[in-house]
Amino acid sequence: MALHRSNLFILIAALAVTHSSCVNLTTLRLAQVVYRHGDRAPMYIYPTDPYKDVQKYWPNGLGQLTSRGMDQQYDLGEYLRQRYDGFIDRLYDRKQIHVLSSDVDRTLMSAEANLVGLFPKLTTFSEGSAGSEGKVDMQLVPIHTLMDSTDKLLHMSANCPRRDEAFDEYENTSPMIQKIREENENLFEYVKYKMGMPAAHEMFTVMKISDILYCQQQHNLTLPSWANDTILEKMRYLSGIEYAMKGGTTELRRLIGGPLVERLMSNMQAETTSQTRESPKMYMHSGHDDTLAALMATMGVFDPQNPGYASAFIMDLHQEESTGKYFVEIFYRNSTEREPYPLHIPGCGSPCYLEDMQTLLAPYIPTDWEAE
């Protein structure tokens, strides 16, 4: 029976997506994952917020991971197990994986939940195997972290006056940003008025306002009548633009996302020169929406949007069997309910060879971040 043309197209597209996200474990040499924490309570409340009774609506506190967020990370961990099973052993081996998290409750807890999904309970192993005996049946995996005051990778909270100055300069001089501001000035003032904020109050940026409403919506809380679909859609769009500003100039790329790009590139470079299997086969990073936005904006692959909860940036290093050359495949999984899709660095071919990628990204990697 012949397939209808449109159905055939959908089938081909689906097969292409499925194929594109499969991993060739034979050529895979290193896997790196950067993900956002799971669902959380809003970071802020506002004067007219109908849900500002934090104890009632957000009992674990503002900004804290929710049970839904834990489940999202568990699901992501299970997906990563499915993706890398056979490359990363089911029984934890400290030489195979390194986990790094920002020093924030929601990212540390997200990393824990993710690892529970990635590494099955010890009771699933045959009796007598390593670690199968004992009272603790969950595999414990160390999670490394960075002091918030020195974190330039994941929370990007390390002090950097020039970074802040450069961002303000771009925000105040970019014709595109100025145009967006002018076009939406009435919207900003209307929303601030409805929130009970003084017109000149700058604490609540577009991104923060959008986030508050999004969090409430995700928890099936009825939003105020002024927060209709049109305003919500507009705020999310503008929030995506605000995320994209982190890659607005070469200097911003170097100072905001550059350090994390440098880490990922250095890990891959080390893998190509390692003569032994001492370095990890997987590097996992538990971060924030800002982390993903800055990383992808710096690499030139960011589609201005709000990185979703438990969304993941995946970077796989492969080695061609015929030539021995290294190439990189990048994927983005913006939902725990769909397969990741490929990202392509502008100017890098297919396959994107590591040496070409290094050349293209070199302008965005700081040589001395503290000095710059």
Residue for token pair 């990563």:
80
| Nearest in space to 22 (alpha carbons), one of 76, 78, 84, 73 | 84
Catalytic residue among 211, 289, 290, 316: 289
Backbone angles phi, psi at 29, to 5 degrees: -120, -30
How far apart are alpha carbons 43 and 23 in whole angstroms? 37
In whole angstroms, what separates CA 88 from the centre of its chain? 21
In the set 37, 98, 285, 318, the catalytic residue is: 37
Active site residue 37: yes
What's the Cα-to-Cα distance from 13 to each of 44, 216, 237, rounded to whole Å?
41, 35, 27
Contact 103, 146 (CB under 8 A): yes
155 tagged catalytic: no
SS3 198: coil
C-alpha distances (whole Å) from 121 to each of 76, 114, 137, 200, 208 are 16, 13, 6, 54, 38
All residues at 6 or more sequence positions from 170 whose CB lies less than 8 Å from its CB, including other chains: 177, 245, 248, 249, 252
Burial class (CB within 10 angstroms; exposed 0-12, middle 13-18, buried 19+) of 316 = buried
Positions marked catalytic: 37, 289
